[in-house]
Amino acid sequence: MGARYDAGFATFTATRMPASPNNLIWIDLEMTGLDPDTDSVIEIATLVTDSQLNILAEGPELAIRHPLARLEAMDDWNRGTHTRSGLWQRVLDSEITMAQAEALTIAFLADWVPAGKSPICGNSICQDRRFLVRHMPRLERYFHYRNLDVSTLKELSRRWSPQVLAGVEKVGAHTALSDIRESVKELAHYRRHMGRLGGLPEAGDGA
């Protein structure tokens, strides 16, 4: 059975399963810059995993409408990155507003995770959360107050175990959904090196 979301401007389908408080919500935003007070969100994507990091569903990947002047005001890095990824043109072509993107995302998440249960998951996720507070406050309140930031493990690996960090595969496409998928894979990689904390069978364990 599928859950279908159609507001006239975006449609996506996911296989419906019972919402679980143990499921994890992963999110990534693409922004015009780093300051939530002066910059804006131009793309949002979410996906849901179970507690073992298996992807259960991918939500809508939404480019959010902004005028050309807003994009042209970005710095060189953002202009180049979002042009190469195709996001620049997708934003100009989009008919989706910030409020619509927020509503569609919440509608998707409601089928998978009860409100207030999942930490917000991703890479450098505190930055995304700052933008949600400013631009999508209803969505920000959907998350638990805790953060699951893969960047914490990245920084610890850099200092404690560089060989583990070297095994992380990064494409760096800088589109929201591709970045989330990379974050899930990155956490799964670190998990394999966590020993008992990772909850995986260890060598020598009886089957």
Q: What is the mean pLDDT of the chain?
A: 91
- Active site residues per annotation: 145
Cβ proximity of 171 and 85 under 8 Å: no
Indicate yes or no: pTM above 0.85: yes
Q: What is the pLDDT of residue 15?
A: 55
Domains contained in the chain, CATH given: 2-149 (3.30.420.10)
Distance (Å, rounded) from C-alpha 66 to C-alpha 42? 7
* 3-state DSSP percent of the chain in helix, strand and coil, to 5: 40, 20, 40
Paired sense of beta strands 55-58 and 24-31, if any: unpaired
Is residue 129 a contact partner of residue 44, using CB atoms and an 8 Å limit? no
Tens of pLDDT, residue by residue over 5-55, are 443 334 444 556 678 999 999 999 999 999 999 999 999 999 999 999 999
pLDDT score at 16: 61
User: What is the pLDDT, as a whole number, of residue 1?
Assistant: 36
At 171 the pLDDT is 77
How many angstroms separate the CA atoms of 159 and 88, rounded?
36
Residue 205 has a pLDDT of: 56
CA distance 44 to 106: 12
Q: Are 44 and 105 in contact (CB under 8 A)?
A: yes
* Per-run averaged pLDDT (10 residues), the chain, 207 residues: 40 62 98 98 98 97 98 97 96 98 98 98 98 99 98 97 93 86 97 93 59
**Predicted local distance difference test score (pLDDT) of residue 18:** 73
Q: DSSP letters along 60-124, please?
A: --EE----HHHHHTS-HHHHHHHHHTSHHHHHHH----HHHHHHHHHHHHHTTS-TTTSPEEESS
